[in-house]
Chain A
């Protein structure tokens, strides 16, 4: 089957003013690749500041004006040009943002879901999607400040379900929710995938991501360091040392911390950004490191675990 979304060698950089009037190009995402098949939930996992949200904004072409994007994005087999992105966003590609601040504070929920349409059909749709997520018709008359955190999250999912999306991009949909509410919210995304859409789940929470995702892409300092099946994690088939460290840092897996901190944008050289913290780092890791297939997954490492160098 044709993949829903294919991202190849995507890079995003920002133009900034350096010393004086000199403009500096600051790379924040580098050489990023990702594939989402129909019905699949692909989680993008990385710590804060790894550039995850920019990926979502890049796909939707809503990056700030001082940014620059390179690489290829293919949506349903055709290139996703800026013009096409404008046409499909909010219809075939929908974004489910982080929280209640993404709703207009002075507009009632109903009109926000309907995007300004007032016809009977739109009203029926908005009522139906709210009901689908366990919200009564009275929610339509609420202002965002009257919603609880969980309700707001479900309203945001309802805005996505009110369309007929082929790709759902969920940007950190769970922070601030207790474990049960978070599970339920993630369950809603799984439902959307089961309906045939592709879901791109952007999160920093590896554990929650693994509970619903089919595949996981791990971000580090603006690069994908590994793409693996969700099953690879429990089976111990991880390839990249960072992924392994992330997995081992989970409470139930030993709670093992590693030293150092993720380098910020502009602080990364040509080589592997993880090399300075890597237990197996070698001098050649500071040179170019290709992204390659290993064992049914992909990894950006010269000496992956379980692979041959």
Chain B
């Protein structure tokens, strides 16, 4: 137990350092951006009709004349104290914007994560256990096609087919247009989240299936599988008893590492579906020079991805007897 605590403690320190690095990198990129916040957000025409005083006020609001170091340190100081600042675009506390957006995105990502995980594992195990056979060829073919398909293009395709031609699903957004916030049901939300989630799942499956296939193929060539065959175990029994057991460890790593991919994918997919999620907010913040919001989203998403990897590491200790028993003996 002490070992586990020490392990977690070390990881948390590492996480703090990582978040610091990530926020700094995001800030530097933003500072180096050639976009002028006034021109992007106010517009050239509007700027021309304004007085110098008004422009100075706006420059002050967007922090144009504050030195970068001061801006970053100011943000960092507040962040450490638990204040993520106020979004310049939404004029709401960043924590509130992220909270709302995350809620929308979480539906989407959780759905995609579970579907791509379960489906990817199943297909990967099937292909790996039948390497070289027809099943494998079909699954591999599917995965290659999907891997070489950009997520946003697939999103457009699904949108065209299911929303425009067939009219089965809404064309965008997360709730019905013009509906009262109080009257929106869970069914409405799921209905709107379906296509974006499907896009993310389809693209996520390929990656997980191909990696699982590779691991499963290696397992099937192991000495203990040969011995299981020599002992008269059927292929079914070998896959279920030995294959799944041994593919579990790499599958855990894959599953939690895929969080970052789904996160990245959601940025594009949300854009296509005009889905008001975290990804879309990140794009807006980036293009609109909304520094507090962008840094907030960057740090929160990095923390979620890191958290996923941390969970995977901790689960390893529970699943792998070498770690579990090795640690217990110390």
Contact = CB atoms under 8 A, between A and B. Distances in A.
Contacts of A105: 224, 246, 322
Contacts of A103: 224, 227
Nearest to B243: A104
A101 B223 contact: yes
Contact of B224 (A65, A90, A101): A101
B226 A106 contact: no
A62 interface: yes
Contacts of A145: 321-322
Given A62-B226, A95-B227, A146-B325, A104 B233 contact: no
Interface string A64-96: 010000000000000000000011111100110
B231 interface: yes
Which residue, of A101, A106, A115, A116, has the highest number of chain B Cβ atoms within 10 A?
A106
A288 B63 CA distance: 94
A250 interface: no
Contacts of B241: 104, 107, 116
A94 B230 CA distance: 7
A87 B233 CA distance: 10
A203 B320 CA distance: 34
Contact of B322 (A89, A101, A143): A143
Nearest to B320: A106
A131 B224 CA distance: 23
B226 A102 contact: yes
B133 to A, nearest CB: 10
Contacts of B39: none
A143 B321 contact: yes
Interface residues of A, number: 26
A103 B228 CA distance: 9
A116 B237 contact: yes
Given A143-B322, A145-B322, A146-B325, A104 B231 contact: no
B229 interface: yes
B232 A86 contact: yes
Nearest to B225: A104
Interface in A178-193: none
Given A97-B223, A116-B237, A145-B322, A104 B230 contact: no
B3 interface: no
B242 interface: yes
A62 B245 contact: no
Contact of B242 (A91, A104, A143): A104
A107 B227 contact: no
A62 B229 contact: yes
Contacts of B230: 57, 60, 62, 89-90, 94-95, 97
A159 interface: yes
A57 B229 CA distance: 10
Interface in B204-255: 222-224, 226-233, 237, 241-242, 245-246, 248-249
Nearest to A92: B232
A27 B99 CA distance: 68
Contacts of B248: 106
Given A143-B325, A146-B325, A95 B242 contact: no
Interface in A105-154: 105-107, 115-116, 143, 145-146
B224 A89 contact: no
Given A106-B246, A107-B242, A116-B237, A94 B325 contact: no
A145 B245 CA distance: 16
Contact of B233 (A57, A90, A106): A90
B231 A159 contact: yes
A95 B321 contact: no
Given A87-B232, A115-B231, A159-B231, 17 more contacts: A57-B230, A62-B229, A89-B229, A90-B230, A97-B223, A97-B226, A101-B223, A101-B224, A103-B227, A104-B224, A104-B246, A106-B246, A106-B248, A106-B321, A143-B322, A145-B321, A146-B325
Interface of A: 57, 60, 62, 65, 86-91, 94-95, 97, 101-107, 115-116, 143, 145-146, 159
6 contacts: A62-B230, A101-B222, A104-B245, A105-B224, A107-B241, A116-B241
